[in-house]
Homo-oligomer: A and B are copies of this chain.
Amino acid sequence: MTYCCAMRLQDGMVFISDTRTNAGVDHISVFRKLYTFGVSNERFIVIQTSGNLATTQAVIGHLQNQLELKLEPNLYSLNTMFEVAELVGHTLRKVIADVTSDTVEQSNYFCSLLVGGQIGGAEMQLYNIYPQGNFICATSDTPYFQIGESKYGKPILDRTLRYDMPLDEAMRCSLISFDSTIRSNVSVGMPLDALIYKKDSLVIPNGKRIYEEDPYFTMISKGWSEALRQGLIELAKPDEDYFQ
């Protein structure tokens, strides 16, 4: 499985992906699922992938190939993030149509993608692209998207994430969301790829790869468990009628 999360907030964007892929529990590998593209001072694009690995790698492969051979349209020639989302959606649809031309069962080859970034002076955008190639756009009401194994890590986001949350706090929130998922589901695993983009900076961040023994992640994980245990103890006890 996979877990990817992306946020489009007032001050910028936060992206995290895990790297575990599995074909059965006895065939586990590490593959990057967070890809960055961009031209400094002009555009910054992130694509995160979930689903069939051959499909997601084919989508990224086609997009990179278009850039390498300067085929039009490509990620660096398009004018808006909306057009970027359209290109990614079309590429995905084409890859799935190709591989399933001789089969009736398309869903085995499905994947989902998150596409976020900023081009020139336009606003940052974040899109959730479905296997059919269509997509939805994040807003200040719903400033985050998840793909893959999303349920374990959703409650912390639903309780604490706000559009105007500072980026460092949003990163902590995402790391907890990942830690909670990894603890409860063995199909999501370290290392993680994390990236913070500051609004209007138009720089391409290197991002950070977080390994299992990462001191900051370990501290966050332990500190959070401790905070929850303490919070639980401090909540008022249930009334006597719970015991009757």
A235 adjacent to B172 (CB under 8 Å): yes
Contact of A227 among B153, B176, B234 (CB under 8 A): B234
**Cα A7 to Cα B228 with chains together (Å):** 19
The answer to whether the Cβ of A237 comes within 8 Å of any Cβ in the partner chain is: yes
Contact of A151 among B184, B220, B232, B237 (CB under 8 A): B184
For A198, the chain B residues whose CB sits under 8 A away are 243
Given contacts A172-B235, A234-B227, A235-B172, contact A208 B242 (CB under 8 A): yes
Contact flags (1/0) for A166-186 with B, using CB distance below 8 Å? Answer: 011101110110001101110
- Name A's interface SS: helix
19 contacts between A and B (CB under 8 A): A151-B151, A152-B154, A158-B184, A159-B183, A160-B232, A167-B243, A168-B237, A169-B232, A171-B242, A172-B232, A172-B238, A176-B232, A205-B244, A206-B244, A219-B236, A220-B235, A224-B231, A224-B235, A227-B227
Contact of A194 among B155, B169, B234, B242 (CB under 8 A): B242
Contact flags (1/0) for A213-224 with B, using CB distance below 8 Å? Answer: 000100110011
B223 adjacent to A235 (CB under 8 Å): yes
A216 adjacent to B238 (CB under 8 Å): yes
For A171, the chain B residues whose CB sits under 8 A away are 238, 242
Interface residues on chain A, number (Cβ under 8 Å): 50
The answer to whether the Cβ of A196 comes within 8 Å of any Cβ in the partner chain is: yes
The answer to whether the Cβ of A140 comes within 8 Å of any Cβ in the partner chain is: no
For A153, the chain B residues whose CB sits under 8 A away are 155
A232 adjacent to B154 (CB under 8 Å): no
**Cα A118 to Cα B64 with chains together (Å):** 63
Which 4 pairs show the lowest CB-CB distances between chains A and B? Answer: A227-B231, A151-B151, A155-B180, A154-B184
A232 adjacent to B184 (CB under 8 Å): no
Contact of A205 among B168, B183, B205, B243 (CB under 8 A): B243
The answer to whether the Cβ of A241 comes within 8 Å of any Cβ in the partner chain is: yes
B233 adjacent to A216 (CB under 8 Å): no
Contact flags (1/0) for A186-228 with B, using CB distance below 8 Å? Answer: 0000000010101000000110100000001001100111011
The answer to whether the Cβ of A229 comes within 8 Å of any Cβ in the partner chain is: yes
